[in-house]
Amino acid sequence: MGSTVPFKLITPAEIVFEGEAELVIAVTTEGEEGILPRHAPLLAALRPGILRANVRRDGSTERLERATGEGFLQALPDGVTVLVDEALRFEDIDVAKAREELAAASAAGDRSAEAFAAAKLRLTGR
């Protein structure tokens, strides 16, 4: 068992996850960034994408995967906090709707919405 860091995933509407994580991988504007325990203090802007984390739950390690909207990641000595607009589980995603959103966003040239819709589809494996 590796060391862990307190990890919080927060949207405006709720705390999606609060617990211990061994690893958090988020998509920053500069590319994917993996955060391990005792990471140097960091504040990063996130692009819509898929957030992955290895979290401890009931003594075992679990994979947490969410399609996330725009947001921020803060790594401080006392924990890692991710703030995002939305954090959807793959069960929450309506594939047909996500496809429509992707098409509408590309047509409108909305890069952020396009990336979010694409992330949703990728999370569902389509």
Partner 1 sequence: MPSVRELRDRIRSLKNTQQITKAMKQVAAAKIRRAEAAQKRTRPYAQTLSEMLADLVGAVSAVDHPFMREGRVGAPAAVILMTADKGLAGAFNSNVIRLGESYAAQHPGTRFYSVGVKARNALRRIGHPDHRTWTLGGDKLATARAVAAEVTRDFTSGDIGAIVLISSTLVSAMSQRPLQRRLVPILKEDLAGTQERAAKPSGALEFLPTPEFVLAALLPKYLEFTLYSAMLETDAAFFAAQLVAMSNATDNAGKAIDESTIAMNNARQAAITKELLEIVAGAEALAG
Count, residues near partner 1 per rule CB under 8 A: 27
Q: In this complex, which beta carbon is closest to partner 1, that of residue 1 or of residue 13? A: 13
- Which region, judged by CB under 8 A, interacts with partner 1, from 35-43, 57-65, 99-107, 114-122? 35-43
Strand partners of residue 52: 25, 65
Residue 42 binds to partner 1 (criterion: CB under 8 A): yes
> Which range in 51-59, 83-91, 95-103, 114-122 contacts partner 1 by CB under 8 A?
83-91
Residue 91: CB minimum distance to partner 1, A:
20
Q: Which of residues 96-125 bind partner 1 (CB under 8 A)?
A: none
Alpha helices in the chain (DSSP H): 95-108, 111-123
Contact 25, 34 (CB under 8 A): yes
Q: Residues in the chain, how many?
A: 126
- Percentages of the chain per state (helix, strand, coil), in multiples of 5: 25, 50, 25
- How many angstroms separate the CA atoms of 21 and 4, rounded? 5
In the complex, the residues that contact partner 1 under the rule CB under 8 A are 8, 10-15, 28-30, 33, 40-45, 70-72, 74, 76-77, 81, 83, 85-86
